[in-house]
Structure 1
Amino acid sequence: MSLPNVLVVGAGGVGTIAALALTINKKCDVTLVVRSDYEHVIKYGYDIDSVTYGKINNWKPPHVTKTVQDAVTKFGEFDYIVLTTKNIPDGGLTCEDIIRPAVTEKRTTIILVQNGMGIEKPMQEQFPDNVVLSDIQFIGSTNLNCKVHNSHKDQSFVGIFENKNHPNPEEYYERADAKVKEFMELYQHEDEAINKVNFDANVKKSRWEKLIYNSALNTVTALVDLDVNRCQIASANETLFRPAMDEIIKIAASDGVTLEPSSKDKFIHIGDGLFYSPSMLVDHRKGQLMELEIILGNPLIVAKENNVDAPILSVLYNLLTLVQFKIKEQRGVIKIDEDDYKRIDSDKYPRIFAEAQKEILE
C-alpha cells in the first residue's frame, strides 16, 4: 500500500522543518518546492540546527523541485499540500494560483501554515470540493542561505476551517475530520517528546488570538523600522501596542469570538529583553512585500461589516499601504509613469493607477 503523497510549498524556516519532520517520521512521501535556493539544495542540502530535531548537515528532502508544476509532473498527484509561503494576495500571484497545478479535486487536502484571518476563503472558493485545514505553528524557525535555525520545540495546532458555503456540510466535515486526524498522525513523531501536534477545536478563535500579536507588534515595528523592545522603551506599549490590541479584541467580539484581555500582556512580554524583529519588520528591511492584507486588511473588513470603530488599526493599515506601494514599485510589481499624472487632478490618481496596475498584472 503506497504512502500518502505530501507536497510542501515554501522552503523557508517553517517549510523546511515541516518537510524534515514528515520525512523523519517515514509515514509519507515528501516533496519540497524550492525556488531561489534550488541549485544549492540539490548539491549541498540544508544545514539544520534544531532544538527539536538536532544538528543535521547537508540534509535533503526525498524529492526537491523548483516549481509546483515540476512536482506534479515528476511525482504525481498529491494527497496533501502543506503551504508555508507568505500570503500576500496584493502581490500579483495568489496562493491559490501557486498551488493550483497540484490540486486534485476532492483528493488533495490543503493545509495552510500561514498567518492571518480569512486566508481560507479564497481557497474554498477556488477549490470547493477540497478540504482546507489550518495549522498554527510555534516553532521559531529561520532559513538564511540554506542554514536553518529552529529555536523552539516543534509544536503545531491543526484544525478545520469553517466552511459555510459547501453544498453538503455533513459530508464535507466528515471528510475533513478524517483528513485532520490522518495529517496529525503523519506529522506526529512516535516520541511525543520530539514534537507535539495538537487538535485545534476552534480555529477561528486561535487565529483571532494570534492577531493580538501580529496586528500590533508586527505592524508598528514595520512602520517605524524599530525592533519590539526599542518601541517599548519609547513607550509604544501604552501609546500603540495595547490600544491596537484592544481594537482587535473588539473586532473579534463582533465576529462572535471572546478573547481574554490577559492575552495582551502575554504578547507584550513574549520577547522581553530579546530586541527581536517580527517577520513584517524583517520583510520591510529586506525590501520584500509584507503580509498586510491578511494581518490588517481582512480584520478591518470585519470591523467595517460589524460597525466596529478601529481608528488605530485603520491608520496603521493606511500608512503601511503606502509603504507596501513603495516596495511594489521598487520590485516592479507596479510601474508608475510620471508623465501620466502631470496634468491630472490628484483626485483622479487612484482610478488611473488602478487601470495601470491591472494592465501590468494582466
Structure 2
Amino acid sequence: MYRPKVLVIGSGGVGTISALSLSHNFKSEVTLVVRSDYDLIMEKGYSIVSCTYGELIGWKPSHLAPSVNDAMEKFGPFDYILVTTKNVPDGPVTCEEIIAPAISTGKEVIILLQNGIDIEKPMLEKFPGHLILSGVSHIGSTYYHGHVENKGMEIVFLGDFQKPSSNPESRLKIEEFISIYHNPGFNKVQVDEDVQKTRWEKLMYNSVFNTISALVDLDVNSIQINNANDELIRPAMQEIMNIARSVGVECDPTFVEKFIHIGDGLFYSPSMCVDMRKKQLMEVEVILGNPIRIAKEQNVYTPILSVVYSLLKMVQFRLKQDRKMFTINQDDFRGNSDHYPYIFENKYKNIK
C-alpha cells in the first residue's frame, strides 16, 4: 500500500511534534530536515516529553536529512511539504528559497504551518500552480539541544487561504493530509473554512505578547505585573482587530480576554522573546510588519503597534549586526541623519 511522502522542514518544538504525529499512525513516510543539530539527532534521536504521546527516548522519524537538498536526493520526491521553520523574510534566506530544492514534479502540496499574516502570497508567487495550504497550530512545545517539551495538546487548523479556492483539488488534499496527520486522543486536526480569520485571531496574541516580551526581555506575566494589560495589551489587540476588519475579517472579540488570561501564573516567555535571548533572528516582519503595512494601506490608526514595530526592527538590526550579516561603515553616515535610512537602503541594499 502506497504511503504519501511528507517532508517536514523545521525541527523545533512544532516541527518535531508534527513529524511525530505524522509518524504515529504509520500512514505516511516522513522525512525531517534537521539542520543545526543533525549529528546529535542522528546519533541519539530525540528525547520527548509530551502531554499526549508520553515520554520517548531516542525517537526518530522514518528519515532524517541535514538539508532539503539531501532529503530530496535520498528520499524524494515528496507529496507534501510541511513548512514549520520560522518565517524570517528579512533573514539570510527566505522560506521560498529553503523549500525550492524539494520542488520537482509540480504536484507537491505546500503546507505552511507557521505564524504570521500574508505568508502564503510569496510562496504562491514563487511556485505558481502549486496548491498552497495554510495551517495554524496551537501547541505548547519547545525544543533545546535534542529535547522536546510538549505541554499542550496539538490543535491544527488547516485550510486553503484563497476563498473560494482556485484549485479544485484543494478540499481533497486537505482531507487526505488530515487523515495522515490526525491521531484521535493525541491531537486535533480539522478543516478550517476560514483559515485567514484563524490566522488573524492568533495574531492578536503573537503580534502583541510576542513582540512586547521580545522588546523588553520579560515573560508575559512580568509584563502584566507592570500594568501592561490596560496600557498596552488590550488596546494593541484592538488595533489588530481593526486592521483585520479593514480587509473584511471580523475577529472574535472574546479572544482579547482569552489571550490575556491564557497564561495566568505560568510566567511564560513567547517564542520571539526566546529567539531574542538566543540572539536568533525573529519573525518580526510576518508577525508585525505585514499587519502594519496593511494598516497603512487601509488608513488604520495603530499608535501602539507602530511604535512596537519600529523599536523591534532596531532589535532585529542589532541581532543582524551581532551575526555579522553586515558591518556599518561610519564614513557612509556623515551627513544629515534624516537621510540615513535611504543611505542604508542604497549602500547596503543586498543585506536583508
TM-score bucket of the superposed structures, by smaller chain: over 0.9
1:46 counterpart = 2:46: yes
User: After the TM superposition, which residues 172-191 of structure 1 pair with which residues of structure 2 at under 5 Å, given as runs?
Assistant: 172=167, 174-189=168-183
The equivalent residue for 1:66 is 66
Local SS of the residue matching 1:313:
helix
Aligned pair partner of 2:300 in 278, 294, 308: 308
| Structure 1 residues 25-47: Cα deviation after superposition (integer angstroms, max 9, x where no partner) | 11111100001110011111011
The residue number in structure 2 matching 1:229 is 221
Distance in 1, Cα, partners of 2:306 & 2:93: 25
CA contact (8 A) 1:14 1:139 kept: yes
**For residue 310 of structure 2, what is the aligned residue in structure 1?**
318
Aligned to 1:200: 192
Residue 260 of structure 2 corresponds to which residue in structure 1? 268
Q: Does 1:258 align with 2:250?
A: yes
Give the distance between the partners of 2:301 and 2:154, measured in 1 at CA. 37
Residues 360 and 206 from structure 1, CA distance in 2 versus in 1: closer, same or farther, beyond 3 angstroms? closer
Aligned residue for 1:89, secondary structure, equals coil
Structure 1 residues 186-230: Cα deviation after superposition (integer angstroms, max 9, x where no partner)? 1012xx112221111111110110111111111111111111111
Deviation (angstroms), 1:163: 6.9
Residue identity matched to 2:62: P
Unaligned runs of 5+ in 1: none
Give the aligned length. 352
Output the CA distance in 2 between the equivalents of 1:114 and 1:246: 23
What is the alpha-carbon distance in structure 1 between the residues aligned to residue 328 and residue 135 of structure 2? Answer: 38
1:34 equivalent to 2:34? Answer yes
| Structure 1 residue matching 2:343: 3-state secondary structure | helix
Aligned counterparts of 1:237 and 1:84: Cα–Cα separation in 2 = 30
- Which consecutive unaligned segments of at least 5 residues does structure 2 have? none
The alignment yields a C-alpha RMSD, in angstroms, of 1.4
Instruction: Provide the secondary structure at the position in 1 that maps to 2:169.
Output: helix
Aligned amino acid, residue 297 of structure 1:
G
Equivalent residue letter for 1:40: L
Q: Give the alignment's TM-score, normalised by structure 2.
A: 0.97
Distance 2:251 2:163 in 1: 22
**TM-score with structure 1 length normalisation?**
0.94
Cα deviation, 1:306-331, whole Å, max 9, x if unaligned, reads: 11111111111111111111111111
Is 2:347 the counterpart of 1:356?
Answer: yes
Report the Cα distance in structure 2 between the residues aligned to 1:120 and 1:47, rounded to whole angstroms.
32
282, 289, 295: which one pairs with 2:287?
295
Report runs of 4+ in structure 1 exceeding 4 Å deviation. none
The SS at the match of 1:260 is coil
Q: Given that residues 82 and 113 in structure 1 are in contact (C-alpha distance below 8 angstroms), is that contact kept between their aligned partners in structure 2?
A: yes
Q: C-alpha distance in 1, partners of 2:326/2:284?
A: 17
Cα offset, 1:48, TM superposition:
0.8
1:245 lines up with 2:237 in the alignment: yes
> In the TM superposition, what whole-angstrom CA distance separates every residue of 1:95-114 from its partner, at most 9, and x where no partner exists?
00000010235310111110
Does the aligned pair in 2 maintain the 1:106–1:131 contact within 8 Å?
no
Aligned-residue identity in percent: 54
2 CA distance for matches of 1:110 and 1:324?
28
Give a deviation string over 1:105-142, Cα, whole Å, max 9, x none.
Answer: 53101111100100000001111111111121112111
Distance 2:294 2:36 in 1: 36
Secondary structure of the structure 2 residue equivalent to 1:118? coil
- Residues in 1 aligned to 2:5 and 2:73: alpha-carbon distance in whole angstroms: 13
2:77·2:105 contact (CA, 8 Å) conserved in 1? Answer: no
1:280 corresponds to: 272
